[in-house]
Amino acid sequence: MTVALIDSGLGLLPTSAWLRRLRPELDLLLCLDPDGAPWGPKPAPWVVDRVLTAADRAIDHGAEVVVLPCNTASVTALEEVRAHLGTTVPVIGTVPAIKPAAAVSRSVAIWATAATTASAYQADLIARFGNGSDVVGVACHGLADAIDRGDGDLVTAAIDAAVAATPADCDAVVLGCTHYPLVADEIVARLPAGVTLFDSARAVAAQTLRRIDELDRDLGGIGSVSVLLSGRPGVLPASAVAYEAGRELCAARP
């Protein structure tokens, strides 16, 4: 069985790596969009069209399940992709881990892109799942782009700026962009002691596997990892090997 994961850049790596660890026989199709990246600042109709195009290409390449391990894609295009592909193709989106963080923390910061931080979607999630905790959004300017480029100095500078913008009494940080788990160790090292980090990559992978199991289909595969770059067969960007998840996926058979 082939599972397609769609993101503009390296944000699909954490969920892809968890799928490979949890179900190594699955074939993965990683759909990046270097021609259109980044998606966050783009108008919503443009993003919807871009994600639908990527989903169609994935189906043409044999995908039976589609995952959007990208907050921008999930916020903007999840329902459109589900309607477009129909009920026979499970489509799994990504939701920041606000609920589990707020369940155990009194003060929560959600690190995300500027677009997501300002979105009605995130405000609604905070209202629904904040559980009485103080929840604040922190726009991490440039962090996702720096991760895509594999630029360690820019990553560090963006993390330091986000730490400075995070309330001093915060005891939990939710990673609201799927790129950020790639540098989770550095984020933890630069946050004050005692701050717990939450991300949704493993939960999205687990939900994907639950949806796959519900299909009751042959899960046969060879554990391959294929890459489409704006629809063209290719390989992961060289910057992917800067991260553990990227190295795992680059080492897989094509």
Q: Which of 2-16, 92-106, 207-221 has the lowest mean pLDDT?
A: 207-221
Residues 43-93 pLDDT 10s: 999 999 999 999 999 999 999 999 999 999 998 999 999 999 999 999 999
Residues 80 and 34 occupy one common structural domain: yes
Average pLDDT over residues 34-50: 94
In this prediction, residue 40 has a pLDDT band, given cuts at 50, 70 and 90, of confident
Average pLDDT of the chain to the nearest whole number: 95
Q: Of 199, 222, 239, which residue sits at a domain end? A: 199
For the chain, the C-alpha Rg in angstroms (whole number) is 17
Q: Is residue 118 domain-shared with residue 180, that is, in the same domain?
A: yes
> What is the SS3 assignment for the chain?
CEEEEECCCHHHHHHHHHHHHHCCCCEEEEEECCCCCCCCCCCHHHHHHHHHHHHHHHHHCCCCEEECCCHHHHHHHHHHHHHHHCCCCCEECCCCCHHHHHHHCCEEEEEECHHHHCCHHHHHHHHHHCCCCEEEEEECCCHHHHHHHCCHHHHHHHHHHHHHHCCCCCCEEEECCCCHHHHHHHHHHHCCCCCEEECCHHHHHHHHHHHHHHHCCCCCCCCCEEEEECCEEECCCHHHHHCHHHHHHHCCCC
CATH of residue 137: 3.40.50.1860
Would the pLDDT of 169 be above 90?
yes
Residues 103 and 192 in one domain: yes
Active site residues: 70, 177
Asked whether residue 34 carries a pLDDT value surpassing 90, the answer given is: yes
Alpha-carbon span 163 to 111, nearest angstrom: 9
pTM (predicted TM-score):
0.94
The residue segments making up the domain with residue 16 are 2-94+202-250
Q: Tell me what pLDDT residue 54 has.
A: 98
Does residue 119 register a pLDDT over 90? no
The predicted structure's pLDDT at residue 254: 82
- Same domain as 81, residue 6: yes
How many structural domains does the chain have?
A: 2
Which of 167, 183, 199 is where one domain is finished?
A: 199
In tens, the pLDDT along 72-85 reads 999 899 999 999 99
Residue 112 sits in the same domain as residue 159: yes
Label residue 184 by pLDDT band (50, 70, 90): very high
